[in-house]
Amino acid sequence: MADYPSSIPAPIDATQTPEWQALREHLDKLRASGFSLKQQFANDPQRVRKLSFDLPDLHFDLSKNLVTDETVRLLAALGRAVHLEERRDLMFSGAHINTTEDRAVLHSALRRPADECGQLIVDGQDCVADVHEVLGRMYAFADRVRSGSWRGVSGKRIETVLSIGIGGSDLGPVMAYEALKPYADAGIAVRYVSNIDPNDMAEKTRDLDPETTLVIIVSKTFTTLETMTNAREARAWLLGALKERGAIDDTDASAAAAIKSHFVAVSTNLELVSDFGIDPENAFGFWSWVGGRYSVDAAVGLSLVIALGPRVFEDFLSGFHDVDTYFATTPLERNVVALMGLINVWYVNFLKSPTHAVLPYDQHLHRFPAYLQQLTMESNGKSTRWDGTPATTETGEVFWGEAGTNGQHAFYQLIHQGRMVPADFIAFANTPNPAKDGAQDVHELFLGNFLAQTKALAFGKTADEVRAEGTAEWMVPARCFGGNRPTTSIFGVGLDAHALGELIALYEHITFVEGTVWGLDSYDQWGVELGKQLAKQITPAFHDDEALSAQDASTQALIAFYRKNRR
């Protein structure tokens, strides 16, 4: 666009490059040849070796994807054609690649080690030094809570943390807490409240002891509607419950002391934090160059530091950093992070598959698909490129999933015999909770399912194989499996903090790769704004006839139903 103001180069239209056309022609050849994974494996004994990769804790097998050596070469060429490596380097250097908000994109700085202080100066700030100043304060505070030296207003030690946030201020910490529960060693449980629905707060506080509860309010601006509504509700609950127990009296001074003892904040708005009653010394900030969905390893993760301890959180950060370094330094053809993003583009834009399943065979990762939904779809669910021009091809993937083996009994029917859904299967060789069913190792039984699903999806079952089982002829088609259903297997040593950091950074950078090919600013989220604006206009209409008259006919009818039926 003529008035595009950023110094960041405008996106290259990938669809107009020779590399894009080469991929189209390549796909035509694959289809004409009757591409078959079964045949690919038979023809190339080195296929698994060539399409296997390793990070410190994770092993990747990409061999069951619908690609050949030539596909990989052409996808890497497409990455170079859209200047993927150059944009990656701009991001890591602190250039303002978030063009619509004119901001740097530096979630990678959150996990850079302290010995790199002074090496990343962006907009006049030493980003790594700033990060470690906040981490130091977080660790010191967490140690006080974990050791029992931080006490509630009645002198009791903290036993439960109630973390209030929404979106990136909630999904990341919830996911990571669930994933790393075996490492929570301080006897402190964490509960998370995000939904403005009063049921969420009611259920999370129903059996809580207010004298042993610490509330963390997570809102960078301290103005987020849902978070601040829930924060005020939590404050009212805590003060009321403390009064009922006789732990505080009715004086303002007593209430103020209780708030200071039981509430802390993750926010940069110290004035509003103080107005709420929280001591600004107990506010932990983060920066405009960290998007909410990329902030679990910032102060947003304070609840994790309290539950898990600083050492485990440091391991978490180290896992992120290892993947950052790998992604930044490995050539595209052997860079599993870049290749997974580019292969996703292959599926979305060439094979026309709009959805992507993430299927963790580890119950501790049961919230990982929900976390990835925000990470990927809020980042790349867009139709405008970073220079304000329309996208020129399909963008975004619908990410979804469920922990195995639960998903097998829910939707695997569709991915085996319905539409093609590329899927990432994630499992770990070790479990913190080994069990036996007689002589059977239950974890091996579980992993047998993990391995069986990708094998069945890749190679299927032919009509002759079904007939050989004695199946009636009319039933044969229903029991055939076509195969050629693409999967990536991610097999880890064990799900610890370092491995989880690696997994999260992997998908952060996959999202970046896809966004770069599509020309998107993956770090803004203007699509969430209109609904919030309209909610503020509509809410008065529940009781105000003038506000009601300004609404459309459908909204008026729905509010009429509410007025008639609200008790």
User: How many helical (H) and strand (E) elements, i.e. helices and strands, does the chain have?
Assistant: 23, 15
DSSP string of 397-441, one letter each residue: -EEE---TTGGGGTTHHHHHHSS---EEEEEES--SS--EETTEE
The CA distances from residue 304 to 161, 218, 257, 479, in Å, are 10, 13, 25, 47
Catalytic residue (one of 38, 409, 436, 543): 409
The answer to whether the bond into 405 is cis (omega within 30° of 0) is: yes
Closest CA to 269 of 225, 302, 221, 223: 221
Structure tokens at 352: 């026309």
Question: Residue 381 and residue 356: Cα distance in Å, rounded?
Answer: 13
The CA distances from residue 468 to 461, 475, 476, 509, 567, in Å, are 11, 13, 10, 46, 64
Question: Residue 111 and residue 301: Cα distance in Å, rounded?
Answer: 12
Burial 336-363 (b: 16+ CB within 10 A, else e): bbbbbbbbbbbbbbbeebebbbbbbbbb
Closest CA to 378 of 197, 198, 172, 195: 172
Residue 409 is a catalytic residue: yes
Question: Residue 32 and residue 45: Cα distance in Å, rounded?
Answer: 23
**Looking at the DSSP assignment, which residues form a beta bridge with residue 483?**
none
DSSP string of 70-86, one letter each residue: HHHHHHHHHHHHTTHHH
Catalytic residue (one of 314, 378, 402, 514): 378
The pairing of beta strand 398-400 with beta strand 355-361: parallel
The CA distances from residue 316 to 171, 176, 495, 499, in Å, are 16, 10, 11, 8
Residue 509 is a catalytic residue: no
Catalytic residue (one of 38, 50, 532, 543): 532
Structure tokens at 307: 């539950």
Question: Residue 194 and residue 303: Cα distance in Å, rounded?
Answer: 14
Amino acid (1-letter code) at residue 410: A
Residue 378 is a catalytic residue: yes
Please answer whether residues 23 and 73 qualify as being in contact, where contact means their C-beta atoms are separated by less than 8 angstroms. Answer: no
The pairing of beta strand 58-61 with beta strand 52-54: antiparallel
Catalytic machinery residues: 378, 409, 532
